[in-house]
Structures are given as structure tokens and as C-alpha cells.
Amino acid sequence: MASRIPLVAGNWKMHKTIPEALEFCEAFVEQMPSPPAGVEVAVCPPFPALHPVAQRLRRTKYWVAAQAVHESLSGAHTGEVSAPMIGAAGATGTLVGHSERRAAGETDTQVAERVKAATDADLRVIMCVGESLEVREAGETDGWLTAQVTSGLALLDHAREQQVTIAYEPIWAIGTGVVATPDQAQEACAHVRLVASNFVDGARLRVLYGGSVSPDNAGELMALPDVDGALVGGASLDPDKFARIVEAAT
Ligand code: PEP
């Protein structure tokens, strides 16, 4: 853990207009002018707020990431956004493969291509993996995670490996208030690290836990040996709750 800097990332999903996003920034920066020593913090606003939030936070040490990216650099892809566009908007990273995107049609092949496109464009990537309740109850979680991690990292250029973080997010824990137990989170994150070690330096890889993280459970989860921070949805919308989760990473 000593060589891995924890990351707490807030995924705002389809929440916050530009004024609301800027209001969050004001309140959050007032409460926490910069990340606590030894912790990285990111926010992932929806696309319209990406540039305004990046502008607002550019003199801080917070980083700003998109929630999705397309694999092509440009072209006839109505509604999509490319990695260079995200970078030009002032963001330095992106989520890839969030389960809500996968449920909307993002394939394993696209996840791999998007990890590659984003990292090649100098963006940091938080690649999300995680099993459904059905998969967990069938005792197939490890195999599922092995497949997602293996396919997701398949096209990654070795020189880019330090740009990648993986978030383990069990689908049954996302937005449900049902959080993985510490044993479940530790076991799955350790497995993700083990499988990812075929592609990257596993000892240096950051693996986050995501799924109903709150100020009450964040400290225990982020203290687990293979959990290097959190990807936070609902609780990241509130500056006070998000700041308390960040503090729990110290
Ligand atoms: C997420 O959106 O990645 C997430 C983990 O959501 P929540 O914290 O609301 O469960």
C-alpha cells in the first residue's frame, strides 16, 4: 500500500447542471481547499459541466474526469465524445466501462478500445468492473472479474500502464445502499489485482471499491489491504459527504 496513493473519485452520473456543478465546487473547495496529503481526488461531471468544472478547479490539485469516452478520435458518432475532446476540455481522465454504460450497450471490446484510446491520448482511466447479484450467487464472481479485467486491459500499451486505475464495483451495490462486506471487497479487489498483474505492475496498480460508499463505511473499506480508494456515486453529489469520504482515505 505504501507505494499506492489512494484515489477518491466522485461520479456525478447524470446530475448537476453547470451552475449546480460550480456551486458544488465552491462549497467543496471552501471545505477542503486541496486534497489531504497523500490522497488524490477526482470528480467526474456530466459532459456539459466538464469544461466549467475543469476551469474552476484548474488551480487546485483536484483532477477532473469524464464519465465515458468513445474509441474513435473523431467521426460520424452522434452523441459521442472523443478522448482528445475530453483533454481539450481540461479534463485529465475518464471513467471507462461503468456498469451503467455496459448495461446501455458498451461491450467488452469497446471497453478495451476505449481504455486504449483514452490512455493513448494521455488521459488517466478508471476502468470499472463488477459482477451482478446473479453472478455472485452462482459463485462465478472470480471468473467474471477475470474476464472483464483481461478483456479490458488487452489493448493497453505497456508504456501507459500507470495511467490506469481499476474500480471494482459490484452491480448489486451500486446505488442500492447495500455495500459489499469488507471480506467481499477485499477478496474481489485482490482478485482484480492478481488478474491485472498479467498486464500491469500489480503492486503499483490502484484498485478502488465502488458501491454505496458513504462517510460511514468509507474508512473501513479503504483501509483494506487491496482497496486503494473509492469510486463514489450518490454520496459524491454532496460536498460535505464527499469531503468526509475523502478524509476517510487519509
Ligand atoms: C457509481 O456510480 O459508480 C457508484 C458506486 O454509485 P453509488 O456510490 O451511488 O453506489
Whether 169 is catalytic: yes
Q: Which residue has the cell 473523431?
A: 74
* The domain defined by 7-248 carries CATH number 3.20.20.70: yes
Residue nearest atom 1 in ligand 1 by C-alpha distance: 233
Helix (H) or strand (E) holding 29: helix 18-31
Ligand 1 pocket mutation, candidates 231, 241, 242, criterion most atoms within 8 A of CB:
231
| Residue pair 50/60 in contact by the 8 Å Cβ criterion | no
The alpha carbon of 231 and the centre of ligand 1 are apart by a number of angstroms equal to 7
Ligand 1 site, CB within 6 A: 11, 13, 169, 174-175, 210-213, 231-235
47-57 and 18-31 helices, crossing angle to 10°: 30
DSSP per-residue codes, 177-218: S-PPPHHHHHHHHHHHHHHHTTTS-TTT-EEEEESS--TTTH
| Residue pair 247/36 in contact by the 8 Å Cβ criterion | yes
Q: How far is CA 39 from CA 2, 7, 248, in A?
A: 12, 6, 10
Q: Which atom of ligand 1 is the closest one to the Cα of 128?
A: 3
Q: Considering 70, 113, 169, 191, which one is annotated as catalytic? A: 169
pLDDT above 80 for 2: no
User: Could you tell me the maximum CA-CA distance found in the chain, to the nearest angstrom?
Assistant: 48
pLDDT above 70 for 1: no
The grid coordinates of residue 41 equal: 481526488
How many residues in the chain?
Answer: 250
The grid coordinates of residue 44 equal: 467526474
Q: How far apart are CA 107 and CA 233, in angstroms?
A: 22
What are the residue ranges spanned by the domains of the chain? 7-248
Ligand 1 pocket mutation, candidates 169, 216, 245, criterion most atoms within 8 A of CB:
169
Whether 247 is catalytic: no
pLDDT above 90 for 243: yes
Q: Which atom of ligand 1 is the closest one to the Cα of 174?
A: 10
**Cross-strand partners of 125:** 94, 164
Q: What is the pLDDT of residue 181?
A: 98
The one-letter code for the residue type at 118 is A
Whole-model pTM: value is 0.97
Q: What is the mean pLDDT of residues 80-93?
A: 98
Which tens digit of pLDDT belongs to each residue from 104-145?
999 999 999 999 999 999 999 999 999 999 999 999 999 999
Q: What is the pLDDT of residue 24?
A: 98
Q: What is the pLDDT of residue 3?
A: 76
Q: How far apart are CA 153 and CA 155, in angstroms?
A: 6
Sequence-separated (6 or more) residues with CB below 8 Å from residue 203: 3
Please return the burial class of 101, using the count of CB atoms within 10 Å of its CB with bins 0-12, 13-18 and 19+. Answer: middle
The one-letter code for the residue type at 34 is S
Q: Considering 51, 70, 98, 191, which one is annotated as catalytic? A: 98
Side-chain-side CA neighbours of 25 within 13 Å: the count stands at 27
The one-letter code for the residue type at 197 is S
